[in-house]
A = this chain, B = another copy of it.
Amino acid sequence: MRATIIHAPGDIRVENVPEPSVTAPTDAVVRTVATCVCGSDLWAYRGIEPVDEPRPMGHEYVGVVEETGDDVTSVRPGQLVIGSFATSDNTCPNCRAGYQSACVNREFMSTCQAERIRVPQAEGTLVAVPDGAADELLPSLLTLSDVMGTGWYAALAAEVRPGATAVVVGDGAVGLCGVIAARELGAERVVAMSRHETRQKLAEEFGATDIVAERGEEGVARVRDLTDGVGADSVLECVGTAESMSQALRSTRPGGNVGFVGLPHGVRIDGQELFLSHVGLRGGPAPVRAYLPDLIQRVLDGRIDPGRVFDLTLPLEEVAEGYRAMDERRAIKALLRP
């Protein structure tokens, strides 16, 4: 079958690789219907994360079950399913606490930009989409595998409450999904920090009430202006750099919360500064699995339309162009059709 392999920074190829198979009774094999390129894939593409040897790429998927191991009873061949970028048995103490992305049997998916994938812990990981979902909902369903679930977790970690003011730092697909999440959770005011016109526009269509184009100190000052000098109740940090984290922490009111979901690169938080801020902080790989049933329903009901973050659709064979377009910020997010 055909699969995406990174050979070195900037060197993405589609190659023939062996078909995956059920190797444990807890596995399933899924034929991908749609997969995509993630902002976090760019860390390796840009050489910020090392690429020591050629390896497959991709961790987001929606697909059809082809085969299941003997222990898998929650899904069956032929069903359309979604799974998180992190597998989970959904029964361990961390799963039961709602942190499936910290499952004691967790594996991070890493081969999804391909025609077929092996899904470990399929029983707990995969969630079936009810029969008859319209094909045009596929992009939105695909976002639930990562970016929409991650934006949702950012809003929950930032403790967005009805009536709150939420700020979203980062205008990538996760940040834009964070805008949706903040609105769905009842934020009255959602401030999107973005300097790109097309992303500003999409943020507004997703429910942002204010746009702040400034960054750093100026951005913080603008947020303070918008919040009577106090800072925002909830800030969703969807980037993962030292600058974005600092901006998020300084935009939050005492007693407010930052939810951070961009994998931090080079972020060191000064303990005394955090202490004096009174800001609560929680991050991590999102427990997407926990939200899948609810978010699938919101997509099917037409309440949310996160699939609009895909502004480029390519056949799998052209995945390299998807990386290029996202790297150059010509595209927000590239959907791949295997």
Contacts and interface: CB of A to CB of B under 8 A. Distances in A.
A282 B283 contact: no
Interface in A76-94: 93-94
Pairs of residues from A and B, 9 with the lowest C-beta to C-beta distance, nearest first: A267-B271, A264-B271, A102-B254, A280-B282, A278-B284, A99-B255, A269-B269, A99-B254, A275-B283
B99 A278 contact: yes
A322 to B, nearest CB: 26
Given A99-B254, A263-B275, A268-B270, A93 B228 contact: yes
Interface in A137-173: 157
Nearest to A279: B282
B254 A275 contact: no
Nearest to A259: B280
B274 A269 contact: yes
A255 B274 CA distance: 19
A115 B94 CA distance: 54
A253 B284 contact: no
A102 B254 CA distance: 7
Nearest to A102: B254
A94 B275 contact: no
Contact of A281 (B93, B99, B282): B282
B269 A271 contact: yes
A277 interface: yes
A285 interface: yes
A278 B102 contact: yes
Given A93-B228, A94-B253, A255-B99, A274 B278 contact: no
